[in-house]
Amino acid sequence: SGWFRRLLHKPRPSSVESSLKSSQSASSSPSSSSSAKSSSTSTGMNLATSSIPLSLVSAPDISASDSPRWDKSYDVCICHSEGDVELVEELVSYLEGQPESFRCFLQLRDAVAGSAVVTELCDAVQNSHCWVMLITPGFLQDPWCKYQMHQALAEAPMANGRTIPVLKDVDRKDYPRELRNIYYIYMVLKEKSFRQIRDTVMRYLQELCQSSTKRME
């Protein structure tokens, strides 16, 4: 009778313990573990590979044969005073030496001999995508620079990235009032400013290509 009473009072395994054991046995089975690994691996692969074409789509090829970049003769027109020719030649050399081979209009090099100054300045603005205004003390005193600046503003009054003011050796309070609604690049380190100009032109041309593609779609 004693062994029968001990058998009746023997504790039964709780439902929590039984469920824990069953879950452990399920997770340790080869089929379930392999399927879990394969699902997590496939998800990671999809995320990794899906990010690659997105980056390519977001950066259109501005040098493609059908790019609207070729609708104009120049990518950049640089407006400057005669006293800043050396700096401008460095900037032009930098831009034209980039992998994109930006086409720059340099007045002393590209203006047609015998043409009127007014005609050349207007044609340079109309046939260029972007206009770099190198605002120096000489720029502020040069009436032709101001004329070209006004032509650029008349061509793109909404300042959608085409006009790129660059301040050098000019106090911020002397920044032309006509350009107050446009952010400018303040040139302290020449290399950094050249890179900012390049990035600004590149961004505009990419946006131009994207908007052109959307219109075609």
**In DSSP terms, which residues pair with 164 in a beta bridge?**
132
- Which pLDDT tens digits describe the chain residue by residue (217 residues)? 555 555 555 455 444 444 444 444 444 433 334 444 333 333 333 333 333 333 334 578 898 888 999 999 999 999 999 999 999 999 999 999 999 999 999 988 998 889 998 999 999 999 999 999 999 999 999 999 999 999 999 998 876 889 999 999 999 999 999 999 999 999 999 999 999 999 999 999 999 998 877 766 6
pTM greater than 0.75 (yes/no): no
Concatenating the DSSP letter of every residue in 72-124 gives SSEEEEEE--GGGHHHHHHHHHHHHTSTT---EE-HHHHSPTTS-HHHHHHHH
3-class DSSP state of 125: helix
Q: Which domains does the chain have, with CATH numbers?
A: 68-211 (3.40.50.10140)
Q: Name residues whose C-beta falls within 8 Å of residue 68's C-beta, 6 or more positions apart in sequence.
A: 208, 209, 212
**DSSP reduced 3-state for 157:** coil
Minimal CA–CA distance to 134: which of 95, 163, 111? Answer: 163
